[in-house]
Amino acid sequence: MKAGRRVRKPQAASTAASSPRSVTVTPGNPRSARPRPLREARIRPSSFRAPARGAGTADMAQAARALWPGGRALAWGLGGRLAPGLPAQSPTGFAGAAGGRVPAATARKGSPRLLGAAALALGGAVGLYYTARWHLHAQNLLAKRSATQLSLSGRLQLTLYQYKTCPFCSKVRAFLDFHALPYQVVEVNPVLRAEIKFSSYRKVPILLAQEGDSMQQLNDSSVIISALKTYLVSGQPLEDIITYYPPMKAMNDQGKEVTEFCNKYWLMLDEKEAQRMYGGKEARTEEMKWRQWADDWLVHLISPNVYRTPAEALASFDYIVREGKFGAMEGAMAKYLGAAAMYLISKRLKSRHHLQDDVREDLYEAANKWVAAVGKDRPFMGGQEPNLADLAVYGVLRVMEGLEAFEDLMQHTRIQPWYLRVEKAIAEAPQ
């Protein structure tokens, strides 16, 4: 070193990376039992604070020092400063640090490649660390949520009045099974319907829910699902929740009076609960849209397809009689007379809903449209687990299992992988 020349040593920087902030979720206040107009929740995007300038590079420099003997050279490349506590070391590179004598020119020539390789390796290690940390955090949240849901579900005694082969009833069973809600099933005779004579509402499904001394009757498959999901997420009394879904008399396209339910695709959650469940307004809107699509379009493709030909109609009624609640004489009459009647009715349904001559094509288009909406980057529309739209579409399609229409659907569309994933998710739901 020449006399009179001073070398300025790099100054150590004392910085620390900002740690992720924990989020504390507090239960929402119970709503009034009185129905009131809905207001769309404003959901604020989650805030994210970047680490202070220099904090990330200091931490990476420390990691480099721990992973490689020549980490000090990498520390210079990452931030030009050294983290405190690192001993002085020659910046000649990894080979020089290992003990070999390397000419200065050679070290300078090879150091960019070595630094690049080291940076890639370090980046992968950091990425794996944060991926594992995120995964553990997600598992903890899932465990806490499951424990809360099990605690709430233990307060309910549920009885489902149904036709097993009804797509709307199948939707409700898919929801109950996925959420591990225990329930009893009462199969209703579709001719006499004596099992639901207690109810002025004469359709199925009907769900009786007893919570303590309070017994509530929930009608309509989408209302049942929305009310129970609101209960599981918010913990509000079910007696209060059902007041948000008031029945309303209306006239259908044929001039017949029908009962409709307001707000039936909405979950009655406060802002924090909605944010915790959906993460954003778009996910909530998407779920509601496709739940309604399943009710307004997909379900109307079932009958025209399972009763498409006389042979298919007979096979469908054979299945209905086996699974339903019929007497011996009723079963025989239903199988043959019902099959003939439904074959003719299916032609009227085809005209009413403006279906193609080959109704299979409408079924295939609907299935592929759903698959395209789910996309390739997520296993379910709900992301890593089925949401209410996934369960609704699955429940509607499931009633065709064992029939020719179902086999054709699996073979001629792209829906089978998604369908099997939902089936597995329901089967593996904690009991």
Q: Are 237 and 30 in contact (CB under 8 A)?
A: yes
Kindly name the residue from 161, 169, 261, 317 that is annotated as catalytic.
169
**Structure tokens belonging to residue 252:** 């259908």
Q: Is 166 a catalytic residue?
A: yes
Q: Is 261 a catalytic residue?
A: no
Cα(8)–Cα(109) distance, rounded to whole angstroms? Answer: 24
Q: Is 48 a catalytic residue?
A: no
Kindly name the residue from 94, 163, 364, 406 that is annotated as catalytic.
163
Cα(260)–Cα(247) distance, rounded to whole angstroms? Answer: 6
| DSSP letter, residue 383 | B
DSSP one-letter string for 182-244: -EEEEEPPTTT-GGGTT-S--SS-EEEEEETTEEEEEESHHHHHHHHHHHHHH---HHHHGGG
Nearest to 204 by CA among 158, 160, 259: 160
**Structure tokens belonging to residue 160:** 């489902």
Cα(370)–Cα(220) distance, rounded to whole angstroms? Answer: 23
Kindly name the residue from 168, 231, 364, 394 that is annotated as catalytic.
168
Strand partners, 208: 159, 217
Nearest to 313 by CA among 283, 288, 344: 344
What do you get for the CA distance between the two ends of the chain, in Å?
76
Cα(327)–Cα(83) distance, rounded to whole angstroms? Answer: 83
The residues, ordered by sequence, that sit 6+ positions from 243 with a Cβ below 8 Å of its Cβ are 33, 34, 35
Kindly name the residue from 94, 161, 166, 319 that is annotated as catalytic.
166
Residue 207 has phi, psi (to 5 degrees) of -120, 125
Cα(309)–Cα(347) distance, rounded to whole angstroms? Answer: 10
How many helices (H) and strands (E) the chain has is answered by 17, 6
Q: From start to end of 48-135, where are the E strands? A: none
Task: Determine the length of the chain.
Answer: 431
Nearest to 324 by CA among 169, 159, 157: 169
| DSSP letter, residue 414 | S
Q: Is 163 a catalytic residue?
A: yes
Which residues are catalytic, by number?
163, 166, 168-169
